[in-house]
Amino acid sequence: MAQETGFEQLRGVSQIEIKNGYAQIHVSRLEEPLSQSRLLVLRALAEADLSLDFLKFTPSGLSCLISESMSKVAEESLNNVGVHYSVKLNRSVVIVFAVNMRDEEGLVARIVRQAIASGARIEHITDTHDRVPIVVHSQDAEMLKKTLESFSEYHKVNN
C-alpha cells in the first residue's frame, strides 16, 4: 500500500480531438423584437427535431451548429418560417482538453491566441470545465490541431 502514486495531470493542454460532420447555420436580418423572432426560429428547429450546438446570438439573429446530415431538414424548416439564413457545410469541431483550465489563469486566452495565429477560419469558440471546443472549416481542422500540438503548453496524456 505504501508505494508512490502519481497524481494530477500536468497543467496545460492534454489532448486535442477533431469531430467532423457539422453544418453552421446563420440566421440574420430578423425582425424586431429580436428575442421573439429568435424564439420563432428556435421553435421551428425544435419542431423539426434538430439538436443544436454552439448557439450564439448575433446582432440581427443567431448562429448554431447542427449535424451536417440534418442540413436539408433545417433548410426546410427555416424556409417555412420565412427568415433569411445561410447553411455552411463542412464544419468541424476541434476540442482542446485542458483539465481545470479555469484555475490556470490566462490559459483560455493563450489557447485562443494560438488558434487565431494558426490562420484557421474560426467560426466559434466556447468553453467548459476541461475543454475549449473550436468550430472551424473542416479543411482547417487538421492544421489547427497540429498547430495546437506544437503549443508550448501541450503535454499529451495517454489515459
**CA separation, residue 26 to residues 6, 63, 149 (Å):** 47, 4, 30
| Burial class (CB within 10 angstroms; exposed 0-12, middle 13-18, buried 19+) of 129 | exposed
Rounded-to-integer distance, Cα 33 and Cα 42, Å: 15
In the numeric block, the cell 505504501 is attached to 2
Which residues between 88 and 147 bind other proteins (CB under 8 A)? 99-100, 102-110, 112-113, 116-117, 119, 122-133
Kindly tell me which residue out of 58, 69, 86, 139 binds other proteins, with binding defined by CB under 8 A: 58
Q: 104 vs 142, which CB is nearer to other proteins?
A: 104
Residue type, 98: A
Q: Please tell me whether residue 87 binds other proteins under the rule CB under 8 A.
A: no
Q: Please tell me whether residue 38 binds other proteins under the rule CB under 8 A.
A: yes
Q: Contact residues for other proteins (CB under 8 A)?
A: 1-11, 35-36, 38-39, 42-43, 45-46, 48-58, 63, 99-100, 102-110, 112-113, 116-117, 119, 122-133, 159
